[in-house]
């Protein structure tokens, strides 16, 4: 594997790997499975409408991350994932799926902002919300207006953004990812799947070792 990834991962080992699962969900009602029409032809571990940030083609390995924008562990993983995306550019698909944890007051606001941006083809810029997490994370009140400010700074069309935030279908789209995660035994964030198989990370290099194996390095 490439040195920059390994160096970054090992440097962050203590901070990142130990608390991979940060919250356990105490929910008993099982969500409905997606229909064949929602998954037919999709990449492993995704739906046809899942957000593919890096597309290397259907034959490339697919790394799926269930994430919560307010999760501090996801925030710690963010630069590692960005390094992986750079070093494996063109070799893997990278897909993000929303998993806003109930204990975070602004995780749904962040996910809605990302989904509203996605509707304008601007998910990638809004995905970098992790870089502003210190401004709004771990707050006990809704900071929805702040996410609107972020959207405005990105140059989004604000009437369309506001309409998307108000539309129940936008939250339903977020909840589809969340419910799929529950069906796939996601209990915390970040949780990674590689070609549909859940990864159990006991050390940082496990993630890149799995990718190296999948691409035949």
Please answer whether residues 99 and 111 qualify as being in contact, where contact means their C-beta atoms are separated by less than 8 angstroms: no
Please answer whether residues 69 and 130 qualify as being in contact, where contact means their C-beta atoms are separated by less than 8 angstroms: yes
Residue 4, pLDDT > 80, answer no
Please state the φ and ψ torsions of residue 76, each to the nearest 5 degrees.
Answer: -70, -35
Domain extent at residue 73: 3-215
Please tell me the predicted confidence (pLDDT) of residue 32. 87
Residues β-bridged to residue 66 = 97, 191
Total number of domains in the chain: 1
Please answer whether residues 190 and 71 qualify as being in contact, where contact means their C-beta atoms are separated by less than 8 angstroms: yes
Of 14 and 141, the structure prediction assigns the larger pLDDT to 141
d(CA 97, CA 79): 17
Summarize pLDDT for 187-198 with one digit per residue, the tens. 999 999 999 999
d(CA 135, CA 127): 15
Please tell me the predicted confidence (pLDDT) of residue 202. 84
pLDDT confidence tier of residue 112, bands split at 50, 70 and 90 = very high
Please state the φ and ψ torsions of residue 102, each to the nearest 5 degrees.
Answer: -60, -30
Record the tokens describing residue 51, joined without a space.
């957000």
d(CA 126, CA 104): 18
d(CA 103, CA 64): 23
Please state the φ and ψ torsions of residue 152, each to the nearest 5 degrees.
Answer: -65, -40
Record the tokens describing residue 104, joined without a space.
């975070």
pLDDT confidence tier of residue 7, bands split at 50, 70 and 90 = very low
Query: Quick one: which of 106, 149, 145, 104 has its CA closest to 126?
Result: 149
Query: Quick one: which of 179, 113, 175 has its CA closest to 142?
Result: 113
CATH number at residue 182: 3.40.30.10
Summarize pLDDT for 130-156 with one digit per residue, the tens. 999 999 999 989 999 999 999 999 999
Mean pLDDT, rounded, of the chain: 89
Please answer whether residues 190 and 17 qualify as being in contact, where contact means their C-beta atoms are separated by less than 8 angstroms: no
Summarize pLDDT for 25-73 with one digit per residue, the tens. 445 578 889 999 999 999 999 999 999 999 999 999 999 999 999 999 9
Please tell me the predicted confidence (pLDDT) of residue 189. 96
């Amino acid at each position: 594997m490439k040195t920059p990834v390994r160096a970054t991962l090992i440097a962050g080992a203590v901070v990142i790997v130990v608390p991979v699962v940060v919250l356990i969900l105490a929910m008993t009602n099982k969500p409905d499975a997606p229909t064949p029409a929602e998954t037919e032809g999709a990449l492993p571990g995704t739906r046809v409408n899942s957000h593919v940030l890096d597309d290397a083609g259907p034959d490339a390995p697919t790394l799926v991350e269930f994430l919560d924008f307010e999760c501090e562990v996801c925030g710690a993983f963010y630069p590692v994932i960005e390094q992986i995306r750079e070093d494996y550019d063109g070799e893997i698909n990278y897909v993000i799926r929303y998993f806003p944890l109930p204990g975070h007051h602004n995780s749904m606001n962040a996910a809605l902002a990302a989904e509203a941006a996605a509707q304008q083809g601007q998910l990638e810029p809004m995905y970098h919300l992790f870089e502003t997490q210190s401004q709004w994370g771990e707050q006990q009140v809704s900071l929805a207006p702040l996410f609107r400010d972020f959207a405005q700074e990105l140059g989004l069309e604000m009437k369309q953004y506001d309409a998307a935030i108000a539309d129940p279908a936008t939250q339903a789209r977020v909840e589809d990812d969340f419910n799929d995660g529950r069906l796939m035994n996601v209990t915390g964030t970040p949780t990674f799947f590689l070609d549909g198989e859940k990864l159990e990370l006991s050390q940082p290099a496990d993630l890149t070792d799995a990718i190296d194996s999948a691409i035949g390095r």
